[in-house]
Structure 1
Amino acid sequence: MGNMVTVDTHKLAEGSSFYADGQLQSVTVNPRYGSGYLSQVRSLTSGISVVIQNFSLHGEGAFRLPRDQESCPPVIAFFTCYSGVGQISYDRPRIPLGNGFSNINFPEYTAALSMDVKGNTPIQTLIVCMELAVFAELTGKTGDELIEALEMLNFHAGERQKKDWSRSIDFAQRMCGYQALDSFINHPRDTLFLEAKALELAALHIRQLEHLTGKTDQREAASQHVEKIAQACLILKEKMAAPPGARELARKVGLNHNQLVRGFREMFGLGPFEYLRAIRLEKARELIAGHECNVTEAAFNVGYSSLSHFSKAFRDEFGINPKACA
């Protein structure tokens, strides 16, 4: 596959079908074009499944996705890109999807048309698929409610004539997704953990969508103090190796200690220093995976003074040893 070559998905899949008897199937990449899985499926509780794409192609380019969706099961799909994807284009919704962004797909929507990818780069996406009846039972919502919210965002993007990305995934979605990917790939028998993360990721998608469209009740900290909490996050990211204490951090952003803690918990589900721990580990993972430094250097760069404490925290967060990322 040469630079910017466009190829049909059926060729990438060597003619294999993504669906059989209305069910998603695992499909490997044609070795002529690359390696890995175009689609790898794990069924969980009745009506819920997780699909990952975990592959790389020999060259940069795009592949067309099939338009015939008659055999697709009627599911709501919570779709998140983590690496390797330049852009996924849709007829509807018009907002494209790229690395670090998410979208929600419905049976009523036109399926994705094409995916632009980077050559020799791991392509990782994760999709939580949920039957409509299961979605309604778990959330008390209908698909129409989410479609209305998505159409609102889509309309505003069209008004601005802005061919922009869909919703950028937040910190909680990123960490949850990494844990789900690790569980799927490295712990195939731990179905309970994967199911918990799949449900959590779907819930985070919905919460973010409702927040963006003003359809969620905002508590005091999340409504009145959101900018100050964001400022506190920025301070922790910039000073993660030597962060201020909790009370000093609160003072810097103009909150009291209780408001700071409550704001972090309402926005992220974490206290300020649980959040600090998570961003330290995520930064260390990026440094190690990008070969910018070794494990010891990464640990000290993000503020750990003990390599053993860092290694344990890393395993607890990602389920693997730091050296496995190198």
Structure 2
Amino acid sequence: MDMPFSLPSAYALESARSWGRTQGLTLTPIGRARGRREFLCFRPGFYVALGHVDHAEPSREVYRSGDFIKLHFRLEGESFVGQPGAPAAQTVSAMSVSTLLQPPGLAKEEFFASEVRERSVTLCCSRSFLTQELGLSGEALSGPFGTFVRGEPQRFEFMRFPLDAVQHGISLALLGDSQGDAFRGLYAESKAFELLHTFLTRRFDDAATDSTGGRARERLATVRRYIDANLHEPLEMRQLARRFGFSESHLARRFREAFGLPLFEYVGQARLARARTLVESGRLSISQIAAEAGYGHAANFSTAFKRQFGMTPQGARKAARQAH
């Protein structure tokens, strides 16, 4: 098998597999950490790394540089990222998205403290993949993707953004148990493209410069942040519209245009994504989580959960325990 991946130090190869053109590797940590890192290469210049690791003691991982921009979605755990030997490091926190640019020849090192449970998804895109496969141009792209497409980065660059509920849900789907799935490569590639699309479209939206549209988009982004922070509360269209200065019909229409799905479909997905995190943590009962997610009956919650994730809450909790 070719090795298109930038693999971490302190890990050993456990298995390799292919699904057609998709190449997959699974690595397990050396030392007291438990879990695994999975690497799936879908096509030249586009791959994803999936992290399910419990760090029992402080650890350090080093990744060699490649001609990639890395887009990292961190669901759980905190780490510190920088250059080997450099004094400063950037914090990667839970529920965040970060972009990383590495100049050719410079490695990245990442530190984890003890007793840290890390769950993460990292998309890696080469310049040729972005320009030739996707047809993107440096003039059309802003931010770190624009910098990368226009030429080789000259310094180590790291930027952070909040992880939203849609990105959280897609990341959970990628991290889900896939043993025995004969179409794993197809499913994972579709989700990886979906995740990349959410980031690119929202960064384009944030970068728009017209004043009227820009103000409306910022108000919509504020609505979304409020929803994400208040999923445990009753949320009504009338209350949200009044709070943020929209009419109900205008809020419904603009939210769907901006984020690609109806407002209360977004709310439902966000609540289920948060519920899955609670289910897998094992700290609350299923009935308590159902109430947190806004369901009056645990049976209705289980039905919605299975429809969204393809397994019951009990099945998701069992799979999480087996994985760790």
Identify the TM-score tier after normalising by the shorter chain: 0.7 to 0.9
Quote the offset at 1:15 in angstroms.
9.7
What amino acid is the match of 1:102?
Answer: V
Query: 1:203-260 CA deviation, whole Å, 9 max, x = no partner?
Result: 2222344445x2x46796663253266247626853745333x345323432112211
Quote the offset at 1:315 in angstroms.
1.9
Question: Which structure 1 residue ranges, 5 or more long, are not aligned?
Answer: 1-8, 17-22, 154-162
What amino acid is the match of 1:50?
Answer: V
- Within 2, Cα distance between the matches of 1:197 and 1:280? 20
What amino acid is the match of 2:47?
Answer: S
Residue aligning to 1:157: none
2:258 to 253, 267, 272: 267
| Map 1:82-161 → 2, pairs under 5 A | 82-90=75-83, 96-106=91-101, 108=103, 111=106, 113-142=108-137, 149-150=143-144
Residue aligning to 1:256: 247
Quote the offset at 1:140 in angstroms.
2.5
CA contact (8 A) 1:150 1:209 kept: no
- Within 2, Cα distance between the matches of 1:78 and 1:185? 25
2:197 to 192, 203, 212: 203
Residue aligning to 1:230: 222
Quote the offset at 1:277 in angstroms.
0.8
**Greater displacement, 191-200 / 166-175:** 166-175
- Within 1, Cα distance between the matches of 2:100 and 2:225? 31
Quote the offset at 1:189 in angstroms.
2.9
- Within 2, Cα distance between the matches of 1:118 and 1:185? 30
Quote the offset at 1:107 in angstroms.
6.0
CA contact (8 A) 2:99 2:158 kept: no
- Within 2, Cα distance between the matches of 1:266 and 1:198? 22
**Greater displacement, 89-98 / 287-296:** 89-98
Q: Would you say 1:285 and 2:276 are equivalent positions?
A: yes
CA contact (8 A) 2:166 2:266 kept: no
Residue aligning to 1:5: none
**Greater displacement, 261-270 / 271-280:** 261-270
Residue aligning to 1:57: 55
Query: 1:244-290 CA deviation, whole Å, 9 max, x = no partner?
Result: 3x345323432112211123223322212112212221332343334
**Greater displacement, 108-117 / 118-127:** 108-117
Quote the offset at 1:50 in angstroms.
1.9
Residue aligning to 1:36: 35
The two structures have a TM-score, normalised by structure 2, of 0.72
CA contact (8 A) 1:103 1:166 kept: yes
Residue aligning to 1:300: 291
Residue aligning to 1:323: 314
Identical-pair percentage: 19
